[in-house]
Amino acid sequence: MKNTFVPTKWTLVFLLLAAMLTLMGGAAVAPALPLISEVFSDAPEFLISMIITLPSLAVACTGYLIGIACDKFGRRQVLLFSLVVFAVAGSAGFYLDSLWAILVSRVILGVGIAGLTTATTALITEYYTGASRVKVLGYQSAAMGIGVLILETGGGSLAEISWREPFLIYLVAFVIIIGVLFAVKEPVSEPRRSHRDNSVKLNMKVLLPIYVSIFIGMAITFLMPTKLPYLIAQVGSVSLTGIGLMLGLMGCCSALAGIFYGRIAARMLRMQVMFLCFFAVGLGCCLLGFAASVGAVALAVIFTGFGQGALIPTIVNWISNEAPVHAMGKATGIFSMALNFGQFASSIVVIPVLVMVGTYSNLFLVTGVFGLLVACVYAVAWMRERRAATQVAR
């Protein structure tokens, strides 16, 4: 029995709106971190930064289970549940007075983000195939970038009022719930899903390098919301709204890369795109290491945004080509784990590195060099892929 539902334009719109919340959902309050540090002055900077990174840890711990839930109960049901959790747990910081209570709410928020990431990605890869899938995955990446722009600039503006107001931005999920109820349907019938789920085995030998790549990419790029505000404060006097706009600029560039991703993927080999992504991210971080003005920071953020914007759809399309459709929930669940564990690991690894290098500028410089080294690995893979393609053409 086949499901007769055909996704409409409104289906795509609300899937993309849900995708907007995933990439920087945990970091929406990043511009308010300096204010939160002042309010909870007895807490170390590491504990304050956990407000941003704990959601990522929660995703890393629950992503695979969420993926199983998607395959068993349906992607749409998980999506709706996750939107409710995102709104309620995300806004909790507005009325909670204890730092520890806020941190607990951030863990719960991570469960919602895990569901959003897994369900939206699984729905897109099942609704669309071929060139349409590539194009829509680009739109998904663009939506994530626009989400960074809206969440970070909105969070920065609300932080001008007080440290609590940025938490209210999570309530936007309630609006998206209404659209999902009417425009999104389950793409796979229950008999098919239950019949095949028990026999599915993912080829982890093939998928593991893909997951490692998104882990590294996120570990590098997540320095932006957690450490860029402190770097900007050293470079020059910038308002909280200005910090939000700087992070939003990264999202805008990421969105542009996503919009044009379909054309990029059609003209380049996959390893070539991966090389360019890590090269752009590494270059952007290196530029931050030498930045002496807000304009220089903006230029660096542009490179990083473009790299991140092309990396995510490349990874997701790679996974969709390697994983069976009836196990897409599990495959995207692990993708969600790798993505968010990379974000969380970023906050852990940065502590000893920052102690060793001494300044935020040096921190970004070291990170950028690492990104360029990863780009070199993909440059070698690109050369091999090009030789293989040439031999097939002959």
More confident residue, 139 or 86: 86
Give tens-digit pLDDT for 329-359.
788 888 888 887 887 788 788 888 888 988 8
Give tens-digit pLDDT for 259-291.
888 888 888 888 999 999 999 999 999 999 998
Closest CA to 308 of 51, 22, 60: 22
Does residue 235 register a pLDDT over 90?
Answer: no
User: Where are any strands of DSSP class E within the chain?
Assistant: none
Q: Is the dihedral of CA 344, 349, 355, 356 positive or negative?
A: negative
Does residue 181 register a pLDDT over 50?
Answer: yes
Mean pLDDT of the chain: 84
Length of the chain: 394
Give tens-digit pLDDT for 92-136.
999 898 999 999 999 999 899 989 988 888 888 888 888 888 888
**Alpha-carbon gap, residue 220 to 188, rounded angstroms:** 36
Matching residue, tokens 């690894």: 349
**Alpha-carbon gap, residue 154 to 344, rounded angstroms:** 23
Query: CB-based contacts of 195: which residues, under 8 Å, 6+ apart?
Result: none
Mean pLDDT on 34-54 = 83
Contact 256/148 with Cβ under 8 angstroms? no
**Percent of all residues in the chain with a pLDDT value above 70, rounded to a whole number:** 91
Tally of CB atoms within 10 A around 346: 25
Question: Residue 195 — pLDDT band, cuts 50, 70, 90?
Answer: very low
In this predicted structure, what is the pLDDT of residue 372? 96
pTM for the whole structure: 0.74
Q: Which string of b and e fits 185-210 if b means at least 16 CB within 10 Å? A: bbbbeeeebeeeeeebebeeeebeeb
3 state SS of 180:
helix
Angle at 214 between CA 210 and CA 218, to 5 degrees: 170
In this predicted structure, what is the pLDDT of residue 23? 66
Domain 9-193+203-393 carries which CATH code? 1.20.1250.20
Domain ranges of the chain: 9-193+203-393
Mean pLDDT on 23-37 = 77
Contact 370/282 with Cβ under 8 angstroms? yes
3 state SS of 327:
helix
Contact 145/20 with Cβ under 8 angstroms? no
Question: Residue 2 — pLDDT band, cuts 50, 70, 90?
Answer: very low
**Alpha-carbon gap, residue 142 to 339, rounded angstroms:** 17
Does residue 299 register a pLDDT over 70?
Answer: yes
In this predicted structure, what is the pLDDT of residue 194? 43
In this predicted structure, what is the pLDDT of residue 188? 55
Q: Which string of b and e fits 360-377 if b means at least 16 CB within 10 Å? A: bbebbbbbbebbbebbee
Does residue 197 register a pLDDT over 60?
Answer: no
**Alpha-carbon separation of residue 325 from 51, 71, 73, 127, 195 (angstroms):** 35, 10, 15, 10, 13
3 state SS of 309:
helix
